[in-house]
Structure 1
Amino acid sequence: MHRLGQGFYPRPTYDRSMRVFLGPAGIPVAAEERTTTGGLLTLRRLGLDAMEVEFVRSVYLSRGAAESVGELADQLGIQLTVHAPYFINLLSEKRETVEASKRRILESLDRAEAMKAEAVVVHPAYYGKLGREEAFEEMERVTHELLDGAEAIGGKAKLAYETMAKESQFAGLDELLRLVETVKSSRLTICVDFAHLYVRGNGRINYAEVLDKLRNFSHIYSHFSNMKYNPKTRRFTDIHEPIDDHPPFKPLAEEILRRGIDITIISESPILEADSLKMKETLKELGYKL
């Protein structure tokens, strides 16, 4: 069931200065050359204009290679973001885990600067034994340390904490918004994973409410996919599926266009760029000229 608001909405009109960037998380499935540069060339051919470079297992690009990727992306008109390694827990009880997590994030930020990527997306932490307020205070402290490290690297790539699916994970949208407001840094932002919010809401998401909370952001970084339903538990789980109706994309597209939002939407669907193209087609049907 989708809580998408009530009433009939006319076809949305939009501010023609707005920009929607669409592309996959990682190298497109269709890329014959299985490299980051090969992926960029494939995206150009397909008419997509964003890619999230996936460092989820390791930061696999040297600084020189990252610079080459950035130069090609700039030539092709493709916006880059980066996803930091999954092996991160900034709230771990083990100090060595926290320090290793910080190093992975800062290494990702370094490569992001080299390729002129706009943001580094991070799965920040698990609550563990910490209470919510204690966890928030520790995240605030560690985030300041990371931002100090980012300043030492230089540049302007943002640190983008991702909204997470599980209640055991830091954090939901409201906590991340509070963190951004508390830290008050132009280098800290959020990556809104709409599918994660859908799971966290047990199959419910109110796009208008989510976007209202993000109205002060000049640009929104986001992920989109569908999520798997488990009939035994009667809950959605954090397993990505191709775009269908869990959650639906069209109501989100309507809200984006109605509000004239600048946004990057990265497809985390198993079929990656195929669903980016599906989202592009939906936006075109609603009147947006890409």
Structure 2
Amino acid sequence: MPKIYLGPAGVPHSAKKRNTIEGIKTVKELGLNAMEVEFVQGVKMSPESAEEAGKVALELGVRLSVHAPYFINLCSEDKEKVEASKKRILDTADRAERMNADAIAIHIAFYGKKSPDECYQIVKAELGEVVDTARSMGIKNVKFGVETMAKETAFGTLDEVISISKEIKGVIPYIDWAHTFARQGGQIDYGEIIDRLVRELNLSHINSHFESLVFRNGKYIDEHLPIDNNTPPFEPLAKEIMKRDISITLICESPELERDALKMKKVLEDLGYKF
């Protein structure tokens, strides 16, 4: 039987206060068991607050992950931007470690004027250095999740994130199912991806995002929609998860957050999963 962790990207809409601890408590009250803490506009949480949030999550049995700031580009032409990006990743990892989160999601780079291969080599060197620095800072448990990306201009094909995870210890793919669906031209074989992650990386846990994307001018673009849009559909993913004895986190990045997470929960329960 799989072990499924399901919850929203950020504080649920229904939380009485807009803070992480209140978000974790609301997630638990809703019958969900995961939450991604959003640092997308910057790491503004103090180390002490991170430790407090971690204690609450541990007490309530809510699995945490963290999303790093959007302003990260390890392939920037500007060296200062690269250094600032590395600091943002380290700050995110530090807070994640303090709150006992298992992984951070990172939009790692844009190709810019470089070829994908050139960018790959740069990401490998810079991210490798970040991971080494993190370990020397005492950040031992957090995994660095390189997110699969929708945009053709971004580092983050499925092949790229699997390959970089093979090369750097402590780096994992953070699978955004909708981004991968878009990057593959509106096609996705969920079972094949899960099997590949297990086979090639020996992953015991998969970290992932789920949402629907906008279809415009003949292609899927990275604007998030509620999951009822079925771009991509959730039920086929749920069925593939249920066929396998795996552990997975499904973070709902739809604008509907917990409302869609609860819809996802019902799909899984209808297939026989017990939360």
Distance 2:231 2:105 in 1: 23
The reply on whether 1:59 has 2:43 as its aligned counterpart is yes
The reply on whether 1:221 has 2:207 as its aligned counterpart is yes
Alignment of 1:92-241 (within 5 A): 92-154=76-138, 155-183=140-168, 185=169, 187-215=170-198, 216-230=202-216, 233-241=217-225
The residue number in structure 2 matching 1:253 is 238
SS of 1:138's equivalent? Answer: helix
The reply on whether 1:82 has 2:66 as its aligned counterpart is yes
Aligned length, in residue pairs: 270
Distance 1:239 1:133 in 2: 27
TM-score of the superposition, structure 2-length normalised? 0.96
Rg larger in structure? 1
The residue number in structure 2 matching 1:27 is 11
Deviation at 1:153, TM superposition (A): 2.0
Higher RCO (C-alpha under 8 Å, 6+ residues apart): 1
Identical columns (%) = 47
- Paired AA for residue 47 in structure 1: G
SS of 1:156's equivalent? Answer: coil
SS of 1:125's equivalent? Answer: coil
Question: Unaligned stretches of 5+ in structure 1?
Answer: 1-14
Q: Deviations over 1:35-88 (max 9, x none)?
A: 111111111110111000000001111000110000001111000001010000
Distance 2:257 2:133 in 1: 32
Distance 2:155 2:72 in 1: 12
Deviation at 1:30, TM superposition (A): 0.6
